[in-house]
Structure 1
């Protein structure tokens, strides 16, 4: 028997005892009238719709119900009185993941529900990763295009990308996130997505509150926005940058800071964007901050940024093993906070 609850939505609750009994062998089963307000605060693991969709009233009610169910992202088995092409298409358009004839035996319906839920659980981490990468890439594309064209940028879509990133790392694991991000064509986008995923993993390990975690991942996603104004010949150069190129590259924190400040970005994110290359010993840039003048968010972000840069894959170099990257971070005593590096290593050791 599976953990969780299966919703049985029906327009004939008085005749649902047999089906409910079979579904109860799969998981806890809750019978809901088709015209009742659907409450998914207790998220179901699967849904069976036993409703005559040919009736306008029922179709309208189920359209509202299916809209709610889409946010739950669970398998929905639709029992149809008519298995014709139009009925199948309408059910799929509503959100059904599987359609069966209403004449199917209750035992077979229950077995189908179990198979769908098991398959959904197996595929959920991959779907979560794809959704998180897609949402974050969409946000980065809008912002980078705005910076490149020197237009005013909008921050309205950023927050909607944060939960998909965090959920992807929580559900799918950091290793899956990194494997997917490493296939990204744009090296700068790839790096921002890597740092965002690493930051999500680190903040989850540290037990941040939801607000603090969102702030940290937002800063990670946006930290290199200023690179939109750096020539590609410098960004993608496989070898060491010369002095002039280094000077140009080091303008990116201030560029990102100024663009985000003009857009009304929060102070925490602004600080991380401007100072993520600062070092505790004062050898960083752009402002040469040191010691207590460097805040906690920046100290955490710098570790995530350096680790991601060391371990990312490029056409001209393979990914550095985590053990080697952590050894380099540990050797940066005096430049990075040792206790945070140790905690970060613990977080990466549990990445899966």
Structure 2
């Protein structure tokens, strides 16, 4: 059976690409111009009309489209050109389920549309599966380039970040974790876990879209230095000896050096990569920072990083139960930010 698609009817080509890209992590989007017929055979998830709805020709086009595709329960989202009573009335006359202003950001349009079209388990699972795939491919591309001392493709990497936020917002953290746990590669699994946990916490704290994107990007790449750690150490099932531990702990500084030599990574991202193992009491590494020397973004990712390490599934050991892992974090009083830890508990364990 074909996956459902979204139809985007538009008379503004400059807007269509952004909306289609924002929808892509969850579903394919077919863009239709005003004079184009719908000839697809895939199930219809819904229609987005980014058109001047007060024009009679536009209303006729919307009517014909809805009749041609027989949408049934598929919702209609209309991006109005004004706040006028007439625009609203015309949109409702067309059967609009949601009306938004045209300046609404593409990601908000996508999230609003998906909230109307994605209550079904299969659609939510599809959203999460695609997001994990895109984020994983972006991460693997970066890790492979780091191992081979090749140029890092920052644009491809950033394209894999937003789907994480979309998936966690649409499907919840548990679905994200369940799917990521199915992967065997330790670094791959860990980075995706930390990114998902960071996304959940950033959404819970109400961060702006730009701040969420930036923070999740740093979380996804925080362990890039492990690309240069020997596999015998990285994948050792038992406790590391003193020399091995020293090599393993070098990954934070190594990751910083990798990104510092690349282009497209700002100081805030470098901060997370280098300092995500620092502790407020100065007992962390590599620089022994303490207190106010550690930024809020680092403190946030550090909590997600430690929790992810505790709940990870490995062939050689059972994962720690979530409640037990949370207690470990609570027992690290003085090392972790208490306010952020309380917010983390609310974000991850909310009912």
1:250 aligned onto 2:249: yes
- Paired with 2:43 and 2:333, the residues of 1 have a C-alpha distance of 54
Q: Which runs of 4+ in 1 moved over 2 A?
A: 36-41, 65-76, 106-114, 117-121
Q: Give the match for residue 300 of structure 1.
A: 300
Q: Deviations over 1:217-252 (max 9, x none)?
A: 011000000000111111111111100100100110
Check conservation: 1:199, 1:220, Cα contact below 8 A.
Answer: yes
- Paired with 2:151 and 2:236, the residues of 1 have a C-alpha distance of 29
SS of 1:254's equivalent in the other structure is: helix
How many residue pairs were aligned?
A: 276
CA RMSD of aligned residues (A): 3.2
Q: Deviations over 1:111-166 (max 9, x none)?
A: 5859xx99864122111111111111111111111111112222121221121000
- Paired with 2:155 and 2:223, the residues of 1 have a C-alpha distance of 18
Q: Give the match for residue 43 of structure 2.
A: 97
- What TM-score comes out, normalization by structure 1 length? 0.70
Q: Give the match for residue 277 of structure 1.
A: 277
- Paired with 1:326 and 1:248, the residues of 2 have a C-alpha distance of 28
- What TM-score comes out, normalization by structure 2 length? 0.70
Q: Give the match for residue 150 of structure 1.
A: 149
SS of 2:154's equivalent in the other structure is: coil
Shift of residue 273 of structure 1?
Answer: 0.2
Higher Rg: 1
Quick one: structure 1 residues 111 and 245, their matched pair in 2 at CA, closer, same or farther if it must change by over 3 Å?
A: same
SS of 1:157's equivalent in the other structure is: helix
The unaligned stretches of length 5 or more in structure 1 are 1-5, 10-31, 42-64, 77-87, 99-105
Shift of residue 281 of structure 1?
Answer: 0.8
Check conservation: 2:310, 2:319, Cα contact below 8 A.
Answer: yes
**Map of 1:1-352 to 2, 5 A cutoff?**
37=11, 72=23, 73=27, 91-92=40-41, 96-97=42-43, 109=70, 111=72, 121-122=119-120, 123-264=122-263, 265-350=265-350
The unaligned stretches of length 5 or more in structure 2 are 1-5, 31-37, 45-66, 76-113
- Paired with 1:70 and 1:288, the residues of 2 have a C-alpha distance of 42
